[in-house]
Amino acid sequence: LSEKENTKLSKLLSYILRHKPEEYGIELGENGYTNVDELITKLNAHNENISFEILQHIVDTNNKKRFAFNEDLTKIRASQGHSVDVELGYTEQQPPEILYHGTVEKFLIAIMKDGLQKMKRHHVHLSADKTIATKVAERRGKPIILEIKAAEMFAAGYTFYHSDNGVWLTDHVPVEFIES
C-alpha cells in the first residue's frame, strides 16, 4: 500500500465512520462501532480494494490514531471527530491545568465574543500539547494558540473527556477561561 493510497483510504474511513456512514450503507452501532466484515464488504461493493490486512495496516499506521478496533477486532470506529450523532462512551476525566487550542486570526473576534464553540463537531477539541495545537491551526493558516484554563473550568463544574487518541473534548469554552 503506497502512502498515497493509505492517505486516501484513511480519509475515506474518516468520511464514513465520522460523517456519512449511510452513503456506504453502513450503520454505526453502540459507541460508534461498526462491523468490520460488513465495512469491508460495502467498501468492496463501492470498488474500494480493501482487505482486513489493509484495514489493520491503516489503523496501525494512522498518524493521529484516528481509528480503533474493539478487543476482538470484529468492530471498528473513529476515536473522535464525528459529525453524526454517536455516544462514544468516554468517561469524564480531570484535565491538566492548561490545555491548548489552535486557531487562526479570522476566528478570534467571534471566539473572544462567544467562547470556543464545537461548530460542526460534537465537542471543542483541545490538546495538552502545544505542538499538536499548532499543527491543528496550521491546517487553516498562521497559527494562533489559545491557552485554556482547564483546571479552573473543571473546578467550576465543566466536563472533560479524553479520547482514545489523546484529544481533550469539552462542550464549550466560555471566554473567561481563554487566555490569549
- Of 120 and 142, the one with the shorter C-beta distance to ligand HQG is 120
Write the CB contacts of 162 (distance below 8 Å, at least 6 apart in sequence): 90, 93, 95, 168, 169
Tell me which amino acid residue 103 is. T
Number of Cβ within a 10 Å radius of residue 7: 13
The answer to whether the CB of 18 falls within 8 A of the CB of 77 is no
Q: Could you tell me how far CA 40 lies from the centroid of its own chain?
A: 22
- Residue 155 C-beta: closest distance to ligand HQG, Å: 22
DSSP letter at 54 equals H
- Of 22 and 114, the one with the shorter C-beta distance to ligand HQG is 114
- Residue 44 C-beta: closest distance to ligand HQG, Å: 25
Q: Greatest CA span in the chain, whole angstroms? A: 51
- Of 58 and 116, the one with the shorter C-beta distance to ligand HQG is 116
- Residue 143 C-beta: closest distance to ligand HQG, Å: 10
- Residue 37 C-beta: closest distance to ligand HQG, Å: 25
Site residues (vs ligand HQG, CB under 6 A) = 64, 66, 81, 103, 107, 110-111, 114, 116-117, 119-121, 125, 136, 140, 167
Here the cell at position 157 is 463544574
- Of 38 and 107, the one with the shorter C-beta distance to ligand HQG is 107
- Residue 9 C-beta: closest distance to ligand HQG, Å: 14
- Of 38 and 171, the one with the shorter C-beta distance to ligand HQG is 171
Which candidate, 170, 158, 85, places its Cα nearest to that of 123? 170
